[in-house]
Structure 1
C-alpha cells in the first residue's frame, strides 16, 4: 500500500519509488496483451524491460464477459490459433491467477515492479491479491466512474491516462479519483499515433491545470524521439508499449518498442533528465578555462552559493 503524499506536493509513491519533479523519470514497459496469452513471451518481455533498466512493466486485466459487449461474443475471427469466437479469443489472451503468480515471482527475481490496467471492478479485486505499486486507468476507462471509485478505494496510487478524453472528462475523473494520490498521463489513443497528433505541449497544459499532480506521458507512437521530448517537457512518468517483435500478431504490436529500442530509450531518457538540470544559471568550473582563453573583455563571475566571485 502506498503512503499518502504530503498535502500540496507534486510527488507520489509507486511502491517505494517517489515520482514527480526532482525525481528520476519512472519508466514503464507496457506489455499489455502483447504476450498473446503465452506466459513464456510475457516473462521474456519482463526480462527485456529489466535488462533495459525500466522501473516497471504493466499488463492489462479484463473479465471477458464484462468487458466484451454481448453482441460480439459469437462473432468469429481468424487468430493465430485458428478461427474462434471473439469471447473465446478474449479468454485465450487473458492471464489468470496462475500466470500472474509466475509473473509476480519472476519480476521479484529480476528486481522490477509490475502492475496492470484493470478494465472492470472484478479485475480490480483480482489485482488486489498482489502487492502492487499502483493501478493504471486506461484512457478507454477514464469515463467509468464505478471503476474509478473501486480503484480509489484500494488506497494505491492510480495512474490515469487521458487519451480520447475532453478536458471536462479529465476533470471529472480526477474529482472521482481524488487528486491526492494520482499520476496524470497525457496520451493520444491512436495505434500508432501520428507525430502531428501527439500534441506534447498538453503536458505543460496539465502541469498548469493540476499543480499538485505529477504529470506523465503514455506514448503510442513509433520511434523514440518524441518520448524523449516528453521528458524534456517535464514528464515524470513514461510508458511505452513493448514487444519482442513488431511483426507479431496483435493490434498493439506496431505501436510498440522492441528490446533494442527499449534499451536506447531508457538510456536516452536518463541522459535527457540529467541534462535538464535545475534551471539555475551558473558558471561551471569547467567553463573557467575557456572563459580565460576566449573572453576579450574582463569581468567578474557573480558569487554562487558554494564559491566566491572569480575575477577574470
Structure 2
C-alpha cells in the first residue's frame, strides 16, 4: 500500500497536485470532432486527464435492454443499436488518443467488459478505470488486474463488502480509489463526503472524488477534505442530447472548478504550525508581550 501512484505523466496522492479528470464518457455522442473539442476544453481548463468509456455492446448491454426502443438524434432505434452508434472503434480511438497526447493530457477509459480491456491495452492506455457499475464484475476486475496498469476504482452504488472484494482482486499497490454516489444529479444529502476518510483509513490507498452534482461546491469541499483526485463529467453544452450532459460541467464551469481546486490545494498546506513571512510585520506591530 502506498500514499502515491504514478498515472501517465503524473504522480497522484498526498502532497501532489490534485489529479483532475475530465470525464468525456459518451458526451461525444459518437462524433470524433466533438471528442476533440472536449479534449481542448479540458486542456485549456488545466486538467491532467480525460476519460472515455469502452464497451463491446453485445456483451455489456443487459439482455433486457437490448431491444428497448430509444429515441435518438438519428431516429428511433433499439438500445443496442444506439450503443453501437455512439461507440468509438480502433481508428477513432487512435485519433482521439493521439490528440489528447498532443494536448499534454493523459487519457484512458472505463472498460465495461473483458474484450474492452484487451482493446484498451492495444491502445496502450496509461490506466484503467473501473466504473461504479462494474465493482462486482469479478471477471472484468481480474482482467484489469492482469494488465499491471494503475487502476482507478469508483465506489458508487456499492456496499463496503463489495468494495472489499474488488480491492482483494485488484490489489492496493497501484490503486486510486474514488468516493462516488451514483445519483444523477447528486443531491447534497447523498454526497457523504466523510467517506473520503473512511476509504483512506480502511484501504490505505490514495482517495479522490467522482462527482455528479450540478454545481462546484461539493467537489471543492472534497478537495478541502483531502481528496487527491477529482473526476467530473464535461460537456460543450448541458442542453445537448444524451443521458450525461445535464449532470456535466460546461467549459466555464470546468475552468472555475480547476481554478478553485488549485487554490484550495495550495491553501491546505502541510499542517505544520509556523510563523509565515507575511505575519512578521503584523507581529512586530501588534504583539505587546514576547513569549
With the length of structure 2 as denominator, give the TM-score of the two structures. Answer: 0.98
For residue 197 of structure 2, give the secondary structure of its aligned residue in structure 1: helix
For residue 238 of structure 2, give the secondary structure of its aligned residue in structure 1: coil
Question: Are 2:287 and 1:299 equivalent residues in the alignment?
Answer: no
The number of residue pairs the alignment matches comes to 291
Show the counterpart of 2:107: 114
2:146 pairs with 144, 153, 156, which one? Answer: 153
Alignment RMSD: 1.0
How far did 1:249 drift? Answer: 0.9
How far did 1:273 drift? Answer: 0.4
For residue 128 of structure 1, give the secondary structure of its aligned residue in structure 2: helix
How far did 1:10 drift? Answer: 1.1
CA distance in 1: counterparts of 2:43 and 2:270, whole angstroms? 28
For residue 231 of structure 2, give the secondary structure of its aligned residue in structure 1: strand
Show the counterpart of 1:171: 164
Alignment of 1:198-209 (within 5 A): 198-209=191-202
Show the counterpart of 2:210: 218
CA distance in 2: counterparts of 1:13 and 1:23, whole angstroms? 11
- After superposition, give the CA deviation of every residue in 1:209-238 in whole Å (9 maximum; x if it has no partner): 122x10011101110111011011111111
For residue 173 of structure 2, give the secondary structure of its aligned residue in structure 1: helix
How far did 1:102 drift? Answer: 0.7
For residue 171 of structure 1, give the secondary structure of its aligned residue in structure 2: helix
1:38 pairs with 31, 53, 70, which one? Answer: 31
- After superposition, give the CA deviation of every residue in 1:73-117 in whole Å (9 maximum; x if it has no partner): 222221111111111101011110111011011112111111000
For residue 180 of structure 1, give the secondary structure of its aligned residue in structure 2: coil
Q: Tell me, which stretches of 5 or more residues in structure 2 are unaligned?
A: none
For residue 266 of structure 1, give the secondary structure of its aligned residue in structure 2: helix
Question: Are 2:276 and 1:284 equivalent residues in the alignment?
Answer: yes
How far did 1:16 drift? Answer: 3.4
Show the counterpart of 1:65: 58
Show the counterpart of 2:232: 240
Contact 2:101 2:107 in 1 (8 A): no
1:105 pairs with 98, 119, 123, which one? Answer: 98
Show the counterpart of 2:186: 193
Contact 2:38 2:234 in 1 (8 A): yes
Q: Tell me, which stretches of 5 or more residues in structure 1 are unaligned?
A: 1-7, 301-312
How far did 1:28 drift? Answer: 0.4
For residue 139 of structure 2, give the secondary structure of its aligned residue in structure 1: helix
Show the counterpart of 1:182: 175
How far did 1:50 drift? Answer: 0.4
Alignment of 1:264-279 (within 5 A): 264-279=256-271
CA distance in 1: counterparts of 2:50 and 2:64, whole angstroms? 33
CA distance in 1: counterparts of 2:248 and 2:93, whole angstroms? 22
Show the counterpart of 1:258: 250
Show the counterpart of 1:26: 19
Contact 2:9 2:106 in 1 (8 A): no
CA distance in 2: counterparts of 1:75 and 1:232, whole angstroms? 43
For residue 282 of structure 1, give the secondary structure of its aligned residue in structure 2: coil
For residue 122 of structure 2, give the secondary structure of its aligned residue in structure 1: coil
- After superposition, give the CA deviation of every residue in 1:38-77 in whole Å (9 maximum; x if it has no partner): 1111110000000100100000000000011233322222
Question: Are 2:70 and 1:77 equivalent residues in the alignment?
Answer: yes
Structure index of larger Rg = 1
How far did 1:196 drift? Answer: 0.9
